[in-house]
Protein backbone atom coordinates (compact mmCIF):
# COMPACT_ATOMS: atom_id res chain seq x y z
CA UNK A 1 0.00 0.00 0.00
CA UNK A 2 1.47 3.34 -1.04
CA UNK A 3 1.48 6.31 1.34
CA UNK A 4 2.51 9.93 0.88
CA UNK A 5 5.91 9.10 2.39
CA UNK A 6 6.73 6.80 -0.55
CA UNK A 7 7.12 9.92 -2.69
CA UNK A 8 10.39 10.78 -0.92
CA UNK A 9 13.86 9.32 -1.40
CA UNK A 10 14.12 7.95 2.14
CA UNK A 11 13.25 4.23 1.97
CA UNK A 12 15.26 1.94 4.26
CA UNK A 13 13.84 -1.43 3.25
CA UNK A 14 12.66 -2.93 -0.05
CA UNK A 15 9.02 -2.21 0.72
CA UNK A 16 6.55 0.63 1.15
CA UNK A 17 6.04 2.86 4.18
CA UNK A 18 2.77 1.23 5.21
CA UNK A 19 4.59 -1.20 7.51
CA UNK A 20 7.95 -1.48 9.32
CA UNK A 21 10.63 -4.07 8.63
CA UNK A 22 9.42 -6.27 11.50
CA UNK A 23 6.20 -8.04 12.35
CA UNK A 24 6.58 -7.43 16.10
CA UNK A 25 3.31 -6.16 17.51
CA UNK A 26 5.29 -4.02 19.98
CA UNK A 27 6.65 -1.83 17.17
CA UNK A 28 5.57 1.66 18.15
CA UNK A 29 6.13 5.19 16.94
CA UNK A 30 5.25 7.78 19.55
CA UNK A 31 5.04 11.57 19.66
CA UNK A 32 5.05 13.29 23.06
CA UNK A 33 4.48 17.03 23.48
CA UNK A 34 4.38 19.30 26.53
CA UNK A 35 3.49 22.98 26.96
CA UNK A 36 3.44 24.79 30.29
CA UNK A 37 3.67 28.22 31.83
CA UNK A 38 6.56 29.16 34.10
CA UNK A 39 4.33 29.23 37.18
CA UNK A 40 3.13 25.65 36.87
CA UNK A 41 -0.51 26.77 36.73
CA UNK A 42 -1.15 25.32 33.25
CA UNK A 43 0.52 22.06 32.20
CA UNK A 44 -0.49 20.32 28.99
CA UNK A 45 0.84 16.99 27.73
CA UNK A 46 -0.38 15.43 24.48
CA UNK A 47 0.72 12.50 22.40
CA UNK A 48 0.08 10.14 19.51
CA UNK A 49 0.84 6.45 19.19
CA UNK A 50 1.26 4.64 15.86
CA UNK A 51 1.10 0.82 15.96
CA UNK A 52 1.25 -0.46 12.36
CA UNK A 53 1.34 -4.12 13.40
CA UNK A 54 -1.71 -3.66 15.61
CA UNK A 55 -3.52 -1.49 13.03
CA UNK A 56 -4.09 1.21 15.65
CA UNK A 57 -3.43 4.91 16.07
CA UNK A 58 -4.31 6.53 19.37
CA UNK A 59 -4.01 9.96 20.96
CA UNK A 60 -4.42 11.56 24.36
CA UNK A 61 -4.07 14.78 26.28
CA UNK A 62 -3.82 15.53 29.99
CA UNK A 63 -4.11 19.16 31.12
CA UNK A 64 -3.61 20.22 34.75
CA UNK A 65 -4.98 23.59 35.80
CA UNK A 66 -3.74 25.32 38.96
CA UNK A 67 -3.04 22.00 40.68
CA UNK A 68 -6.77 21.43 41.11
CA UNK A 69 -8.35 19.99 37.97
CA UNK A 70 -6.91 17.63 35.40
CA UNK A 71 -8.69 17.27 32.06
CA UNK A 72 -8.21 13.99 30.22
CA UNK A 73 -9.28 13.27 26.64
CA UNK A 74 -8.37 10.00 24.88
CA UNK A 75 -9.12 8.63 21.42
CA UNK A 76 -8.29 5.64 19.25
CA UNK A 77 -9.03 4.54 15.70
CA UNK A 78 -8.32 1.85 13.17
CA UNK A 79 -5.09 2.88 11.45
CA UNK A 80 -5.73 1.76 7.88
CA UNK A 81 -6.56 3.02 5.31
CA UNK A 82 -5.73 6.52 6.72
CA UNK A 83 -2.25 5.34 7.63
CA UNK A 84 -0.43 8.56 6.72
CA UNK A 85 -2.69 10.97 8.64
CA UNK A 86 -1.54 11.93 12.14
CA UNK A 87 -5.05 12.51 13.39
CA UNK A 88 -7.43 10.68 15.70
CA UNK A 89 -10.92 12.13 16.06
CA UNK A 90 -10.43 15.83 17.00
CA UNK A 91 -6.68 15.35 17.61
CA UNK A 92 -4.20 16.33 14.89
CA UNK A 93 -0.45 16.92 14.47
CA UNK A 94 1.08 18.89 11.60
CA UNK A 95 4.78 19.39 10.87
CA UNK A 96 4.99 22.90 9.40
CA UNK A 97 8.78 23.17 9.15
CA UNK A 98 10.83 20.05 9.87
CA UNK A 99 12.64 20.22 13.22
CA UNK A 100 11.46 23.82 13.60
CA UNK A 101 7.68 24.26 13.78
CA UNK A 102 4.86 21.88 14.67
CA UNK A 103 1.15 22.52 15.26
CA UNK A 104 -0.82 20.35 17.69
CA UNK A 105 -4.62 20.66 17.80
CA UNK A 106 -7.53 19.33 19.79
CA UNK A 107 -10.63 20.59 18.02
CA UNK A 108 -13.95 21.31 19.71
CA UNK A 109 -15.45 18.23 21.32
CA UNK A 110 -17.94 17.22 24.00
CA UNK A 111 -15.43 17.07 26.87
CA UNK A 112 -14.88 20.78 27.50
CA UNK A 113 -11.26 20.97 26.37
CA UNK A 114 -9.71 22.17 23.11
CA UNK A 115 -6.50 23.87 22.00
CA UNK A 116 -4.30 24.94 19.13
CA UNK A 117 -0.62 25.25 19.99
CA UNK A 118 2.36 26.06 17.80
CA UNK A 119 5.71 24.61 18.83
CA UNK A 120 8.51 26.96 17.77
CA UNK A 121 11.93 25.36 18.32
CA UNK A 122 14.62 27.50 19.92
CA UNK A 123 17.41 24.92 19.78
CA UNK A 124 18.39 22.00 17.52
CA UNK A 125 17.06 18.54 18.40
CA UNK A 126 19.02 16.21 20.65
CA UNK A 127 19.34 12.60 19.47
CA UNK A 128 19.64 10.04 22.25
CA UNK A 129 22.87 8.08 21.99
CA UNK A 130 23.23 5.21 22.60
CA UNK A 131 19.70 4.04 21.80
CA UNK A 132 17.77 2.05 24.38
CA UNK A 133 18.12 -1.71 23.96
CA UNK A 134 17.00 -4.42 26.36
CA UNK A 135 16.66 -8.17 26.00
CA UNK A 136 14.72 -10.29 28.48
CA UNK A 137 14.52 -14.09 28.50
CA UNK A 138 16.08 -14.17 25.05
CA UNK A 139 13.58 -11.74 23.55
CA UNK A 140 14.15 -8.15 22.50
CA UNK A 141 11.70 -6.09 24.54
CA UNK A 142 13.07 -2.64 23.73
CA UNK A 143 15.01 -1.26 20.77
CA UNK A 144 14.23 2.44 20.45
CA UNK A 145 15.55 5.56 18.77
CA UNK A 146 14.47 8.95 20.14
CA UNK A 147 15.13 12.65 19.74
CA UNK A 148 14.14 15.59 21.94
CA UNK A 149 13.63 19.26 21.21
CA UNK A 150 12.77 22.37 23.23
CA UNK A 151 11.09 25.61 22.27
CA UNK A 152 8.49 28.23 23.04
CA UNK A 153 4.79 27.88 22.25
CA UNK A 154 2.04 30.13 20.99
CA UNK A 155 -1.68 29.66 20.61
CA UNK A 156 -4.48 29.01 23.08
CA UNK A 157 -6.14 26.47 25.38
CA UNK A 158 -9.88 26.47 26.01
CA UNK A 159 -11.21 24.72 29.12
CA UNK A 160 -14.87 24.78 30.17
CA UNK A 161 -15.60 27.77 27.96
CA UNK A 162 -12.68 29.91 29.14
CA UNK A 163 -9.88 30.61 26.65
CA UNK A 164 -6.33 31.01 27.92
CA UNK A 165 -3.85 32.69 25.59
CA UNK A 166 -0.33 31.26 25.47
CA UNK A 167 2.40 33.90 25.77
CA UNK A 168 5.78 32.63 24.45
CA UNK A 169 7.56 34.90 26.93
CA UNK A 170 6.15 33.03 29.92
CA UNK A 171 5.56 29.57 28.46
CA UNK A 172 7.89 26.74 27.47
CA UNK A 173 7.45 23.60 25.42
CA UNK A 174 9.29 20.30 25.08
CA UNK A 175 8.73 17.37 22.76
CA UNK A 176 10.13 13.97 21.85
CA UNK A 177 9.67 11.47 19.03
CA UNK A 178 10.56 7.79 19.42
CA UNK A 179 10.22 4.66 17.29
CA UNK A 180 11.06 0.97 17.47
CA UNK A 181 10.29 -2.01 19.66
CA UNK A 182 8.83 -0.54 22.82
CA UNK A 183 7.94 -2.30 26.06
CA UNK A 184 4.51 -1.64 27.46
CA UNK A 185 1.69 -3.10 29.48
CA UNK A 186 -0.70 -3.79 26.63
CA UNK A 187 0.92 -7.09 25.61
CA UNK A 188 0.35 -8.46 29.10
CA UNK A 189 -3.39 -7.89 28.73
CA UNK A 190 -3.39 -10.40 25.88
CA UNK A 191 -3.91 -14.07 26.65
CA UNK A 192 -1.00 -16.45 26.28
CA UNK A 193 1.74 -13.86 26.83
CA UNK A 194 4.25 -14.47 29.61
CA UNK A 195 4.18 -11.66 32.20
CA UNK A 196 7.21 -9.43 32.41
CA UNK A 197 9.87 -9.82 35.05
CA UNK A 198 9.22 -7.95 38.29
CA UNK A 199 12.39 -6.13 39.38
CA UNK A 200 13.56 -5.97 42.98
CA UNK A 201 13.80 -2.24 42.47
CA UNK A 202 13.95 0.21 39.60
CA UNK A 203 14.91 3.84 39.10
CA UNK A 204 14.13 6.04 36.12
CA UNK A 205 14.50 9.76 35.54
CA UNK A 206 14.20 11.89 32.43
CA UNK A 207 14.29 15.64 31.98
CA UNK A 208 14.19 18.41 29.39
CA UNK A 209 15.33 21.71 30.91
CA UNK A 210 15.57 25.14 29.31
CA UNK A 211 17.73 28.10 30.25
CA UNK A 212 18.07 31.23 28.11
CA UNK A 213 21.37 30.29 26.49
CA UNK A 214 21.51 26.49 26.93
CA UNK A 215 19.31 23.48 27.47
CA UNK A 216 19.79 19.90 28.53
CA UNK A 217 18.13 16.53 28.17
CA UNK A 218 18.98 13.37 30.06
CA UNK A 219 17.53 9.87 30.37
CA UNK A 220 18.69 7.37 33.00
CA UNK A 221 17.54 3.94 34.15
CA UNK A 222 19.01 1.83 36.90
CA UNK A 223 18.61 -1.04 39.32
CA UNK A 224 17.83 -0.96 43.03
CA UNK A 225 21.53 -0.98 43.96
CA UNK A 226 22.37 2.13 41.93
CA UNK A 227 23.83 0.30 38.92
CA UNK A 228 23.02 2.21 35.72
CA UNK A 229 21.50 0.14 32.92
CA UNK A 230 20.94 2.96 30.42
CA UNK A 231 22.03 6.59 30.17
CA UNK A 232 22.10 9.29 27.53
CA UNK A 233 22.06 13.07 27.57
CA UNK A 234 23.43 16.29 26.20
CA UNK A 235 23.80 20.03 26.67
CA UNK A 236 22.88 22.08 23.60
CA UNK A 237 22.60 25.69 22.53
CA UNK A 238 20.25 28.02 20.59
CA UNK A 239 20.00 28.13 16.83
CA UNK A 240 22.56 30.58 15.49
CA UNK A 241 24.91 30.28 18.46
CA UNK A 242 27.41 28.21 16.47
CA UNK A 243 28.09 26.07 19.56
CA UNK A 244 28.03 22.30 19.08
CA UNK A 245 26.21 20.00 21.49
CA UNK A 246 28.17 18.56 24.41
CA UNK A 247 27.36 14.97 25.24
CA UNK A 248 26.84 13.91 28.84
CA UNK A 249 28.83 11.00 30.25
CA UNK A 250 26.73 10.55 33.39
CA UNK A 251 24.58 12.29 35.95
CA UNK A 252 24.36 12.21 39.75
CA UNK A 253 21.01 12.72 41.45
CA UNK A 254 20.00 13.76 44.94
CA UNK A 255 16.21 14.04 44.99
CA UNK A 256 13.85 14.58 47.90
CA UNK A 257 10.33 13.13 48.01
CA UNK A 258 6.92 14.21 49.24
CA UNK A 259 5.86 12.92 52.64
CA UNK A 260 2.50 14.69 52.91
CA UNK A 261 0.66 11.95 50.99
CA UNK A 262 1.28 8.34 51.98
CA UNK A 263 1.62 5.75 49.25
CA UNK A 264 3.19 7.95 46.58
CA UNK A 265 6.78 8.54 45.46
CA UNK A 266 6.80 11.99 43.93
CA UNK A 267 9.81 14.29 43.95
CA UNK A 268 9.49 17.65 45.74
CA UNK A 269 13.01 18.98 45.25
CA UNK A 270 16.68 18.15 45.07
CA UNK A 271 19.54 18.52 42.64
CA UNK A 272 21.17 16.88 39.64
CA UNK A 273 24.81 17.12 38.58
CA UNK A 274 25.39 16.82 34.84
CA UNK A 275 28.80 15.35 33.98
CA UNK A 276 29.91 16.10 30.41
CA UNK A 277 32.29 13.99 28.33
CA UNK A 278 34.79 16.88 28.26
CA UNK A 279 35.11 16.79 32.05
CA UNK A 280 32.96 19.84 32.74
CA UNK A 281 29.91 19.73 34.97
CA UNK A 282 26.79 21.63 35.92
CA UNK A 283 24.85 21.30 39.16
CA UNK A 284 21.15 22.09 38.79
CA UNK A 285 18.76 22.45 41.73
CA UNK A 286 15.07 21.96 41.06
CA UNK A 287 11.82 23.04 42.64
CA UNK A 288 8.57 21.52 41.34
CA UNK A 289 5.89 24.08 40.47
CA UNK A 290 3.15 21.70 39.38
CA UNK A 291 2.38 18.21 38.18
CA UNK A 292 0.30 16.47 35.56
CA UNK A 293 -0.46 12.74 35.84
CA UNK A 294 -0.09 10.68 32.66
CA UNK A 295 -1.43 7.36 33.94
CA UNK A 296 -5.03 8.27 32.99
CA UNK A 297 -3.75 9.26 29.53
CA UNK A 298 -2.44 5.75 28.87
CA UNK A 299 1.09 5.81 30.35
CA UNK A 300 0.69 3.18 33.04
CA UNK A 301 1.28 -0.45 33.99
CA UNK A 302 -2.42 -1.26 33.65
CA UNK A 303 -5.43 0.19 31.88
CA UNK A 304 -7.19 3.14 33.49
CA UNK A 305 -10.95 3.26 32.94
CA UNK A 306 -10.52 0.69 30.18
CA UNK A 307 -7.74 2.36 28.16
CA UNK A 308 -4.00 2.00 27.79
CA UNK A 309 -1.70 2.88 24.89
CA UNK A 310 -1.82 0.42 21.99
CA UNK A 311 -5.02 -1.33 23.08
CA UNK A 312 -7.58 -2.07 20.36
CA UNK A 313 -10.66 0.03 21.15
CA UNK A 314 -12.53 -0.60 17.91
CA UNK A 315 -12.67 1.31 14.60
CA UNK A 316 -13.38 4.65 16.32
CA UNK A 317 -13.43 5.44 20.04
CA UNK A 318 -13.11 8.46 22.31
CA UNK A 319 -13.76 9.46 25.90
CA UNK A 320 -12.93 12.23 28.34
CA UNK A 321 -13.30 13.20 31.99
CA UNK A 322 -11.92 15.47 34.71
CA UNK A 323 -10.06 14.54 37.89
CA UNK A 324 -9.68 16.39 41.18
CA UNK A 325 -5.88 16.35 41.54
CA UNK A 326 -6.06 18.28 44.81
CA UNK A 327 -7.50 15.12 46.41
CA UNK A 328 -4.81 12.79 47.84
CA UNK A 329 -7.01 9.75 47.17
CA UNK A 330 -7.17 10.64 43.48
CA UNK A 331 -3.41 11.17 43.33
CA UNK A 332 -2.77 7.78 44.90
CA UNK A 333 -4.96 6.17 42.25
CA UNK A 334 -3.37 7.84 39.21
CA UNK A 335 0.29 8.46 40.12
CA UNK A 336 2.79 6.50 38.04
CA UNK A 337 4.47 8.57 35.35
CA UNK A 338 4.10 12.11 36.69
CA UNK A 339 5.38 15.09 34.71
CA UNK A 340 6.72 17.80 37.00
CA UNK A 341 7.16 21.36 35.76
CA UNK A 342 10.17 22.66 37.67
CA UNK A 343 11.95 25.91 38.35
CA UNK A 344 15.67 25.30 37.89
CA UNK A 345 18.71 27.10 39.28
CA UNK A 346 22.23 26.76 37.92
CA UNK A 347 25.19 29.15 38.31
CA UNK A 348 22.93 32.12 38.98
CA UNK A 349 20.60 31.36 36.07
CA UNK A 350 16.93 30.42 36.29
CA UNK A 351 15.36 27.93 33.91
CA UNK A 352 12.21 25.85 33.52
CA UNK A 353 11.32 22.46 32.19
CA UNK A 354 9.99 18.96 32.60
CA UNK A 355 11.29 16.39 35.09
CA UNK A 356 10.23 12.75 35.43
CA UNK A 357 11.32 10.53 38.33
CA UNK A 358 10.02 7.02 38.95
CA UNK A 359 11.16 4.79 41.82
CA UNK A 360 9.62 1.33 41.98
CA UNK A 361 10.25 -1.33 44.61
CA UNK A 362 13.42 -1.35 46.67
CA UNK A 363 15.75 1.65 46.39
CA UNK A 364 17.84 2.17 49.54
CA UNK A 365 19.40 5.45 48.36
CA UNK A 366 16.06 7.15 49.01
CA UNK A 367 14.93 4.95 51.88
CA UNK A 368 12.53 2.74 49.94
CA UNK A 369 12.75 -0.91 51.00
CA UNK A 370 10.11 -2.58 48.82
CA UNK A 371 6.87 -2.22 46.95
> Per the domain annotation, does 271 fall within a domain?
yes
Q: Give a yes or no: residue 16 inside a domain.
A: no
Residue 276 located in a structural domain: yes
Predicted local distance difference test score (pLDDT) of residue 99: 95
Instruction: Give pLDDT, residue 244.
Output: 96
The pLDDT value recorded for residue 185 is: 66
Domain count of the fold of the chain: 1
Identify the CATH number of the domain in which residue 269 sits.
Answer: 2.40.370.10
Asked if the structure places residue 150 within a domain, the reply is yes
Question: 351 in a domain, yes or no?
Answer: yes
pLDDT at 140: 84
Phi, psi (deg, nearest 5) at residue 272: -135, 135
Structure confidence at residue 189 (pLDDT): 66
In a domain, 15, yes or no: no
Quick check: is 13 in a domain?
A: no
Determine the structural domain holding residue 119 and report its residue range: 25-369
Report which of 307, 366, 364, 341 is spatially closest to residue 41, judged by C-alpha positions: 341
Which residues fall within 8 angstroms of residue 301, CB to CB, at 6 or more apart? Answer: 185, 336
- pLDDT (tens, 9 = 90+) of the chain, 371 residues, equals 899 999 999 899 899 988 899 998 899 999 999 999 999 999 999 999 999 999 999 999 999 999 999 999 999 999 999 999 999 999 999 999 999 999 999 999 999 999 999 999 999 999 999 988 888 888 888 899 999 999 999 999 999 899 999 999 999 999 999 999 987 767 666 767 777 778 899 999 999 999 999 999 999 999 999 999 999 999 999 999 999 999 999 999 999 999 999 989 999 999 999 999 999 999 999 999 999 999 999 998 889 999 999 999 999 999 999 999 999 999 999 999 999 999 999 999 999 999 999 999 999 999 999 98
Q: What is the pLDDT of residue 147?
A: 97
Contacts of residue 291, Cβ cutoff 8 Å, sequence gap at least 6: 43, 64, 67, 266, 325, 338, 339, 340, 341
DSSP reduced 3-state for 41? coil
In a domain, 188, yes or no: yes
Amino acid sequence: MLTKYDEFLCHQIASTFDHPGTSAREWTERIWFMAHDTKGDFILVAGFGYYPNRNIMDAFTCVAVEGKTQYVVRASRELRPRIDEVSVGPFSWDVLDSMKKVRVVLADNEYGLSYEILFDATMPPHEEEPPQFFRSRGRVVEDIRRYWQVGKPGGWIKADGQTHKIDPRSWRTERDHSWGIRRGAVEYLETGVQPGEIPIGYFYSGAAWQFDDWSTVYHIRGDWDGAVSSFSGGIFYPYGSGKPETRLASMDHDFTFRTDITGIRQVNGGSVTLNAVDGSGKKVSLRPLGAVYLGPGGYSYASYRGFIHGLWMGPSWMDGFTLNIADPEVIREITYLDELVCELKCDGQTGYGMTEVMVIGKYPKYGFQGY
